[in-house]
């Protein structure tokens, strides 16, 4: 396959924007509540399949109705779900996504079966079968932070698989130490600015990127929402702005950026073009409150980028 997405699989319950957070005991009405796909790996896999990329998914869900919904949604999008494992002991992960007008969204999340995913549950040869491996939701995947997983990553890289890694924001003083074990095994690291600030202690994206490179990262991309993205590797420093768009909600925007970046990388585009693709997919995502509801397909992305040129600066 072109890309295997490994990591967080989740069901999101997303509300349309409300005017303010409810007070204690208050019932706040919203215009709509939607059950949708969630989790970094699931969102990215869905978006990649929508771009026509031959995509697979690996992760752990429970043995319940939410698991059926996640698997059915991914299958309908054309994602190969043979790498999905079902747990009878732990329920499927779920997240309540609370959107408040003119504010960033808030999450109440249950990690569920994701925490039980281990290297041993990934089918033999699956990682090596992919041109690219995307790990989404690192730092909430405790079962994958093992020596066995590092060995599987080393084997995949030896087989020619390129590895991309993204994280979620956690309140853990040891998070950077945990991450440092895995950065030397990755080709591209893709955190957002808030995640990077907690991990490195720096607020400047250039300083964040250099800190990750010093820890073993080869190419580092720091995304900043409507402020664009920064890329640093041994050869270059690049900065791209963000497309103007009709913003409804930011859920899944980082995953959409990752999907666009990966799709362009698979087509052997240069890194500036990869940033443009990531930016376009991210911009398409925020037009909806759900993580995948408004993401471009390939033709839509090409038409959008043709009519909305964006500059990538070399710094």
Domain hosting residue 255, numbered range: 3-8+38-92+112-314
Q: Is residue 246 part of a domain?
A: yes
pLDDT value at residue 247? 86
Strands 229-232 and 237-240: antiparallel
More confident site: 103 or 8: 8
Cα 250 from Cα 204, distance rounded (Å): 21
Q: Is residue 32 part of a domain?
A: no
pLDDT value at residue 171? 84
pLDDT value at residue 105? 85
pLDDT value at residue 220? 98
Alpha-carbon Rg of the chain, whole angstroms? 18
pLDDT tens-digit series, residues 228-277: 999 999 999 999 999 988 888 888 999 999 999 999 999 999 999 999 99
Q: Is residue 27 part of a domain?
A: no
Q: Is residue 106 part of a domain?
A: no
pLDDT tens-digit series, residues 150-197: 999 999 999 999 999 999 988 899 999 999 999 999 999 999 999 999
Q: Please report which confidence band the pLDDT of residue 214 belongs to, taking 50, 70 and 90 as the band edges.
A: very high
Q: Is residue 101 part of a domain?
A: no
Q: How many structural domains does the chain have?
A: 1
pLDDT tens-digit series, residues 107-143: 899 999 999 999 999 999 999 999 999 999 999 999 9
Q: Is residue 97 part of a domain?
A: no
Cβ-based neighbours of 187, under 8 Å, separated by 6 or more: 162, 163, 164, 218, 219
Give alpha helix (H) positions in the chain. Answer: 40-50, 65-77, 147-158, 175-180, 193-200, 205-214, 253-266, 271-285, 298-307
Q: Is residue 140 part of a domain?
A: yes
202 exposure class (CB count in 10 Å sphere: 0-12, 13-18, 19+): middle
* Structure tokens given for 103: 């504010």
pLDDT tens-digit series, residues 70-102: 999 999 999 999 999 999 999 999 999 998 988
CATH at 121:
3.40.1190.20
Backbone dihedral angles phi then psi of residue 153, each to the nearest 5 degrees: -65, -40
Q: Is residue 19 part of a domain?
A: no
């Amino acid at each position: 396959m072109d890309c295997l997405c490994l990591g967080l699989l989740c069901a999101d319950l997303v509300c349309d924007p409300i005017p303010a957070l409810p007070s204690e005991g208050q019932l706040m009405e919203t215009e709509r509540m939607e059950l949708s796909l969630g989790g970094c790996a699931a969102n990215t896999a869905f978006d990649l399949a929508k771009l026509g990329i031959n995509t697979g998914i690996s992760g752990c869900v429970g043995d319940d109705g939410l698991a059926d919904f996640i698997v059915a949604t991914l299958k309908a999008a054309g994602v190969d779900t043979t790498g999905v494992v079902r747990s009878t002991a732990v329920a499927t992960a779920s997240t309540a996504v609370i959107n408040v007008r003119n504010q960033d969204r808030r999450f109440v999340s249950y990690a569920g079966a994701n925490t039980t995913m281990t290297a041993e549950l990934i089918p033999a040869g699956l990682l090596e079968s992919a041109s690219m491996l995307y790990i989404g939701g690192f730092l909430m995947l405790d079962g994958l932070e093992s020596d066995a997983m590092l060995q599987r990553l080393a084997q995949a890289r030896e087989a020619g698989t390129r590895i991309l890694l993204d994280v979620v924001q956690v309140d853990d003083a040891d998070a950077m130490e945990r991450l440092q074990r895995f950065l030397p095994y990755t080709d591209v690291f893709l955190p957002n600015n808030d995640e990077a600030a907690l991990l490195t202690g720096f607020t400047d994206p250039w300083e964040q990127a250099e800190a990750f490179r010093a820890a073993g990262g080869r190419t580092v991309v720091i995304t900043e929402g409507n402020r664009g993205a920064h890329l640093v590797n041994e050869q270059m420093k690049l900065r791209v702005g963000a497309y103007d768009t009709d913003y409804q909600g930011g859920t899944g925007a980082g995953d959409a950026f990752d999907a666009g970046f990966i799709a362009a990388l698979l087509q052997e585009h240069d890194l500036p073009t990869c940033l443009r693709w990531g930016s376009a997919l991210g911009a398409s995502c925020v037009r909806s409150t759900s993580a995948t509801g408004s993401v471009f397909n390939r033709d839509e992305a090409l038409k959008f980028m043709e009519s909305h040129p964006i500059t990538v600066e070399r710094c």
